[in-house]
Amino acid sequence: MIDIEKVNAALSAWSAMLGGEVMGGAEATAAYGVDCGAAERVVLGAIRLQHGDKEKLPAILEVARRTGVPLYPISTGRNWGYGSSLPARTGAVILDLGGLNRILDYDPEFGTVTLEPGVTQRQLCQFLADKGSRYIVPTTGAGPDVSLLSNALERGYGITPYADHFTALSNLEVVLPNGEWLRAPFGSLGVPTLDRIFRNGIGPSWIGLFTQSPFGIVTSATITLAPKPERTAVFLFSLKRQEDLPRIVERVRAVLQACGGLVGGVNLMNHQRMLSMTIPYPRERLSGAPIMPESLAAELARQNMIMPWTGFGTLYSSAALLPAVKKEVRRALAGVATRLVFLTQDRIQILRKGVALAPAFIANRAEASLATLAKSLDLIQGIPNETALPLAYWLSGKRDDGNAPLNPAKDGCGLLWYAPLVPMNASLVNDYTIWVVKRMREFGIEPLVTLTTISDSIFDSTVPILFDRADPRAAENAKQCLAALLEEGRLRGYTPYRVGIDSLPWLLGKGGESARFVADLKRHLDPANILSPGRYTT
């Protein structure tokens, strides 16, 4: 039950501290209340922190404890498909840390950068360019204006050489629910440099407790950046049949094991996912069907020269080693993959000039594909862009301002993510892909499937559940589809590495020793449950 008097008292106290940066419920709902996944929450208000407000966090938390009004911290609120800006549980005040956007330290020798939650991919890219830095931004597909720190704290991953963003994280500064500060240990011993370059400190390492966590507010952290590779290239290949997928899984694993860090992530995308990157949604061809019939998807794939599966991999190497790495990739994929090609940015530009001379119907299609490839190469070289974001708009959503950055939540896009971890086992991967496509089609959801290597033993499969957010029935169907995939996938051995806000009850309902341990920690650190209630624990 929401006590309006206590909420008003809390908002009044926070307003006295911060002035005009405190919103009431109606204003906060207008600013933060829309979500790609059509989740709904009662938003009690919002606090927007600005430069210099970080030191007020203990006092802000004291008001929350005294009134019992919970806070839900966000960074930039661009958590597309997982809840956008909304809290995990209804009835909370959003604590917007986006205004804390200072880059606090940069060490060009060790390649570390210490930053606050509001620092975005775009901001860091400009900072490094201004410094003439030899390091690159750990980019993701979520767009240039998303928080770097929040992605790492969600244990997200990207497509640059240091793909696992959590393992690149160190030197956390945290304010706990009781208002006390927690900082990395070496600084108290007079050697703060070690906190930036050695993540585990001394004694028990607590850094992981604050990822996917309701235990504290992370106000800054250090990220270790990857150096800019001397040579960057991509390789593309195709599979003629679904039956070739188990065989390519073993070959991809062999490449990753043989080439170590010289081969970055490898993506395997089914033909429906490739169509979403290639053509507008063919709504006029559906003839009343809820999604593309398999025959239509196959026809459009043939017209666009897309095979059942397409592979996309990255190479990061010195000029001297690049030919040897290419040779190893060719050897490993031979006999299974077809149409294997290697591309660099220079090579793509040459091809773009060449296709300009072709007949218009060929040139236009080829130019669009090559332009997307060029932007993808920018992304893997640490230059953030919006290349991946149009996926959210394939079925629904419309930009009001063509010059504004893409914002799938505000633009009406319907998107939920199913992102299970799939062991890199040939039969399991084959079973998973056949099952997930069949199950999604039964729900009338286009089955767009990607498998991305996050080690040489596991894939993360990113599956967007796209729907028309303006249609309540479509939104409910999308939620039911996700619920079915989560539970049925778990029984088959596939479980996500993260879930959206409406899927947290499913996760928390599974219990177990781990859940009890987390709940015990939460009760100890936050007995009043005023920080992020419902976030990965009860």
pTM value is: 0.95
Same domain, 257 and 216: no
Q: Is 320 helix (H, G, I), strand (E, B) or coil?
A: coil
| 192 within some domain | yes
**Number of structural domains found in the chain:** 3
Residue 355 lies inside a defined structural domain of this protein: no
Q: How far apart, in whole angstroms, are the C-alpha atoms of residue 167 and residue 351? A: 38
* 52, pLDDT greater than 80: yes
Tokens of 439: 């199950």
- What pLDDT, in 10s, does the model give residues 269-296? 999 999 999 999 999 999 889 999 999 9
pLDDT single digits (tens) 457-501: 999 999 999 999 999 999 999 999 999 999 999 999 999 999 999
Task: Please indicate, yes or no, whether residues 178 and 247 belong to a single structural domain of this protein.
Answer: no
Q: Is it the case that residue 404 has pLDDT exceeding 90?
A: no
Q: Which domain holds residue 59?
A: 4-96
Q: Radius of gyration (Cα) for the chain, nearest Å?
A: 24
pLDDT of residue 178: 97
What pLDDT is attached to residue 374?
A: 82
Query: Per the domain annotation, does 107 fall within a domain?
Result: yes
Our measurement of the distance from residue 284's CA atom to the centroid of its chain's CA atoms, rounded to an integer in Å, reads 32
- My answer on whether 427 and 303 are in the same domain is yes
Question: For the residues 375-402, what does the mean pLDDT come to?
Answer: 89
In contact, 314 and 232? CB cutoff 8 Å: yes
Q: Are residues 10 and 142 in the same domain?
A: no
Q: Which two tokens stand for residue 96?
A: 């917007």
Can you give the pLDDT at residue 2? 79
Do 111 and 45 lie in a common domain? no
pLDDT recorded at residue 356: 65
User: Tokens in use for 66?
Assistant: 């005294």
Which whole number is the average pLDDT over 298-314? 95
Q: What is the pLDDT of residue 355?
A: 64
Residue where one domain finishes, among candidates 224, 252, 269:
224
- pLDDT digit string, tens, across residues 418-441: 999 999 999 999 999 999 999 999
Check residue 489 and give its pLDDT.
Answer: 97
Do 189 and 135 sit in the same domain of this protein? yes
pLDDT tens for 215-235 read 999 999 999 999 999 999 999
Q: Are residues 125 and 19 in the same domain?
A: no
44/19: higher pLDDT: 44
The overall average pLDDT reported for the chain is: 93
Q: Are 321 and 237 in contact (CB under 8 A)?
A: no
CATH code: domain of residue 59: 3.30.43.10
Share of the chain above pLDDT 90, in %: 86
Express each pLDDT in 100-139 by its tens digit: 999 999 999 999 999 999 999 999 999 999 999 999 999 9
Residue 518 located in a structural domain: no
Pick the last residue of a domain from 224, 245, 280: 224
CA 92 → CA 63, 118, 429, 515, distances in Å? 13, 21, 40, 23
Within 10 A of 120 (CB to CB), how many other CB atoms are there? 23
Mean pLDDT (whole number) for 450-455: 95
Instruction: State which of 28, 63, 96 marks the end of a domain.
Output: 96
pLDDT at 346: 79
Best CA proximity match to 14, nearest among 60, 79, 50: 60
3-state secondary structure of 402: coil
| Shared domain check, 309 and 257 | yes
Is 515 among the domain residues? Answer: no
Q: Is the pLDDT of residue 361 over 60?
A: no
Distances, alpha carbon 501 to alpha carbons 268, 410, 438, 498, 507, in Å: 27, 18, 26, 10, 10
Claim to verify: residue 262 and residue 391 sit in the same structural domain? yes
- In sequence order, the β-bridge partners of residue 312 are 236, 267
Residue written as tokens 């080690």? 455
CATH number at residue 418: 3.40.462.10
Is the pLDDT assigned to residue 357 strictly greater than 70?
no
| Nearest of 163, 168, 102 to residue 379 by alpha carbon | 163
Look at residue 382 and tell me whether its pLDDT is greater than 60. Answer: yes
Claim to verify: residue 171 and residue 307 sit in the same structural domain? no
User: 327 exposed, middle or buried (CB, 10 Å; 0-12, 13-18, 19+)?
Assistant: exposed
Task: Answer yes or no: do 147 and 83 share one domain.
Answer: no
Whether 516 is in a domain gets the answer no
pLDDT digits (tens, 9 = 90+) for 60-107: 999 999 999 999 999 999 999 999 999 999 999 999 999 999 999 999
Angle made by CA atoms 222, 226, 229, in degrees to the nearest 5: 165
Assess whether pLDDT exceeds 90 at residue 367. Answer: no
Q: What's the chain's length in residues?
A: 538
